[in-house]
Amino acid sequence: MANFNFQVTPGGNPKFEPEVAVNLLIPGIMVAVAVDTTTGVPNTGLYRSLDGGNSWSNSILPLPAGFTGAEAPAVAYAFPNTFYVTAHAFPGASSGTTVIYISTDNGATFSNPIIVAPGYGLYINNDETNVEVDNGQSSPYLGQIYVTYNHQFNVANGGNSTAFLQRSRDGGITWDKTVLLSSEADQVERPDVAVGLTGTVFAAWITTNPTTRFVIRKSLDGGDTYDQPQLVANIVPVPTVLPVTGYAFRVLTFANVATDNSVGPFTNNVYTVWQDNRQGYADIFMAKSTNLGESWSTPVSITGAPAGSQNFFPAIDVDPLTGVVNVVYYSNQVNGFDLDVYVARSINGGQTFTNTRITNQSFNPNGSSPVPVPLIGDYIDIMSVPPGGYIAVWADTTPGTLVIYAGYSNIVIG
């Protein structure tokens, strides 16, 4: 029973913004994605492990014809052996298009990209993708796919951005439902989506203008209709560049939501996490609902990190067998500058958390760069490895440039 760190990608040109998915039936099979600039331009890197994260193959997913790059990838698993990858493909600084790739052989091969949401010149840019599949064990909508993205419009004039969601009921071949989740008057960041035990859909986003707040809409009918937006919490945004001498990388605040699909005392709990500056420094806060999103608890910090430390880029998942809540995040709490990855875990429905440093060594976010770098990506990720373990992925500069690392644990807490 141990924690392990694995380097997923080789050194060289930067790789960042990783996500990971796990085959729930064969948990040793894992598929990860990231922005990968191995070829000199951003593409969607595809990394596959058949041995629980110990070793990884590396490849690049093809771009749609006429496109020049891709970013903001996401990945999700569906029973029994399917993985879906979404990304924001672009032919330059405009026309960003959301695409999806499909693998029905546990990630060994993927389809050519399928257009989910096309962009149009300087008018529409679909960015910051996310993907979730209904794996609810008592859901009549099992297998439905939900893709969210930041829909930026009137891009040429500074425009605005809204949270969009699309649904597929045939394994990603066609997309039959587009939902404008947020108000066109609100500026939003990357939306997220979670699906509960019986197929309840929770679509979440964070507005950044006119106020910063965490908002959710719920669907009880497999995405046919959604209720009115509900406030989860008001947010005090962290500075775009954290107030640490030598930092220049941006820190955007994204929504993260997960549901407890296990069978136990906390079944159907819904958890939301985000980074918040209400204490005067960046910390990870959680609000939860015990009544399917009808009301939300008062937000609380879950890190136990020292005051003044910077804790950011949270991601959350809940073990579908045990109900253990797993949250990953970056923190500079060891020496105030170098970064580490921590995991907060709860076995009592988010009432208390145990926080553990999972990086073997701290790393300088600037790597070997002689000047502070402007970007280390905008998110990292974690996925449960039932029963009771997890796999986390992050961008790390230990080799000197940004590469993807994975942290695996098979320690069952109780």
| Cis geometry, peptide bond prior to residue 210 (ω within 30 degrees of 0) | yes
Distances 346 to 2, 49, 414 between C-alpha atoms, Å:
18, 27, 9
**Domain, as residue range, for 169:** 3-409
Q: What is the pLDDT of residue 61?
A: 98
Distance CA 310, CA 330 (A): 8
Consecutive sets of 10 residues in the chain, 414 residues long: mean pLDDT of each?
82 97 98 98 98 96 95 98 97 85 98 96 94 98 98 86 97 94 95 98 96 98 97 98 98 98 96 98 98 97 98 98 97 98 97 96 97 98 95 97 95 77
List the CATH number of the domain containing 156: 2.120.10.10
Angle at the Cα of 381 from the Cα atoms of 67 and 151, rounded to 5 degrees: 45
Query: Taking the CA of residue 335 as centre, how many other CA atoms within 13 Å lie in the half-sphere pointing to its CB?
Result: 9
Q: Sign of the C-alpha dihedral, residues 192, 247, 233, 352?
A: positive
Q: Where in 307-409 does DSSP place strands (E)?
A: 311-318, 325-331, 340-346, 354-357, 381-385, 389-396, 403-409
pLDDT of 167: 98
Total structural domains within the chain: 1
pLDDT at 186: 94
pTM across the whole model: 0.97
Within a domain: residue 129? yes
What's the CA gap between 391 and 29, in Å, rounded? 11
Q: Is-contact 61 85, C-beta < 8 A?
A: yes
In DSSP terms, 409 is beta-bridged to 3, 390
Closest to 252 in 3D by CA, of 206, 307, 195:
206
In-domain check, residue 267: yes
> What's the gap between Cα 52 and its chain centre?
20
Classify 172 in phi/psi space as left (phi over 0), alpha (psi -120 to 50) or beta: left
369 contact partners, CB below 8 Å, separation of at least 6: none
| Residue 414 domain-assigned (yes or no) | no
DSSP code of 66?
Answer: T
The whole-number pLDDT of residue 348 equals 97
Q: In this structure, what token pair is assigned to residue 293?
A: 């999103």
Question: From CA 284, how far away is CA 272, in angstroms rounded?
Answer: 10
Q: Do the Cβ atoms of 398 and 405 come closer than 8 Å?
A: yes
Instruction: Estimate the share of the chain in helix, then strand, then coil, as percent rounded to the nearest 5.
Output: 0, 45, 55
Tens of pLDDT along 125-136?
A: 999 999 999 999
pLDDT at residue 1, as a whole number: 40
